[in-house]
Amino acid sequence: MEEKKVLYSAVQPTNNLTIGNYVGAIRNWVQLQDEYRCYYAIANMHAITVRQDPAALRKNTLQLLALYIACGIDPEKCVLYVQSHVPCHAELAWVLNTITYVGEMERMTQFKDKSARHAENINMGLMDYPVLMAADILLYQADVVPVGIDQRQHLEITRDIAIRFNNRYSPTFTVPEGIYGKVGAKINDLQDPSKKMSKSGDDPNGAIFLSDDRDTVIRKLRRAVTDSEACVRYDPENKPGVSNLLSIYSVMTDKSIEESQKEFEGKGYGEFKLAVGEAVADRIEPVQAEQKRLLADKGYLESVLKSGAEQAFRTARKTLDKVYRKIGFYQGDR
């Protein structure tokens, strides 16, 4: 039997996840877990590149784990773990720093964006984020990485770093490929459809959170920006608001864009927005109920994390030992 390829992905346990996170990441993870050997991390080390409330960060870590499982990610099929529980991430990041150039990090779009938003806290972790991300991926010899549009640049620098190390020290890392989503890979802000829906956006009405109740979901969708044409048609360039809502409806109902567009032929925006709101609420309510049930069983969640960390560490340590040998670190009989 052919061995499964390795897939790696991670989400930060910060704020509250949106339907954009669900569509762009978690939903795809569920679909991929049977096809690949999956490592899914809670990226708390990445989270502290911006200031966090420690108590909230701890709470959000378990909430995110429960959400993963509630969405259909199976701990029996995947390795679910917390990034900081595997010290190899930080250790490999340090080694990779020595073959990564400052100019490369300064050109990262996300570094520029976050520096503008957090001008009072432009720290080295913020700049070094892509190197830690490269370490995350390369530790597990990942063949593939599900990538949103905004993370393509980070995957490219990961590939560059892997190739550079392999050329300098001999083949060591698998050079990962990206898996790019199609429809719904990028869900945009409801109030400003030129921007990606974000859990840290300026206007809370621009995002639908996975914790929002039905009334809140429908209210936010009713207020979503559209246009004056009053025609439901998928045309991202000329009708970004309506196209964004069609993408959301398509993903939440498992219908194609064409089917969704045809369903609303001749119907007004009010009816369309209500239908999108109900489709979103219908999809996330069962997830909310299951997440609540799981959070009541802290012992189970901690057992999942313990098992996941042990599995992740075994793989990561094997890679790190190989790296240390290649670069000349004396390891003795350890």
Domains 6-180+297-327 and 204-292 in one fold: no
Q: Would you state the structure tokens that stand for residue 208, as one six-digit string?
A: 């639908």
Three-state secondary structure of 199-216? CCCCCHHHCCECCCCHHH
Instruction: Select which of 77, 112, 182, 196 is catalytic.
Output: 196
Contact 295/304 with Cβ under 8 angstroms? no
In the chain, what are the domain boundaries? 6-180+297-327, 204-292
pLDDT score recorded for residue 181: 62
What 3-state DSSP class applies to 37? strand
Q: Would you state the structure tokens that stand for residue 87, as one six-digit string?
A: 């010290």
pLDDT score recorded for residue 149: 67
Q: pLDDT of the chain along its 334 residues, tens only?
A: 568 999 999 989 986 889 988 887 888 889 899 999 999 999 999 999 888 999 999 999 999 999 999 999 999 999 999 999 999 999 999 999 999 998 888 888 777 777 677 777 778 888 899 999 999 999 999 999 988 767 788 899 999 999 999 999 999 999 999 987 654 457 899 999 999 898 777 788 999 999 999 999 999 999 999 998 889 999 999 999 999 999 999 999 999 999 999 999 989 999 999 999 999 999 999 999 999 999 999 999 999 999 999 999 999 999 999 999 999 999 887 6
* 204-292: CATH number: 1.10.240.10
pLDDT score recorded for residue 124: 85
* 267 in catalytic set: no
* 196 in catalytic set: yes
* 322 in catalytic set: no
Length of the chain as a residue count: 334
Measure Cα distances from 56 to 41, 48, 133, 167 in Å. 18, 12, 23, 43
Helices and strands in the chain, H and E counts: 14, 5
Instruction: Select which of 114, 220, 239, 273 is catalytic.
Output: 114
* Spatial separation of the C-alpha atoms in residues 2 and 206, rounded to whole Å: 45
Residue with tokens 């009989």: 333
Beta bridge partners, 81, equal: 41
Contact 115/122 with Cβ under 8 angstroms? yes
Instruction: Select which of 186, 199, 255, 322 is catalytic.
Output: 199
- Which class does domain 6-180+297-327 fall in? alpha beta
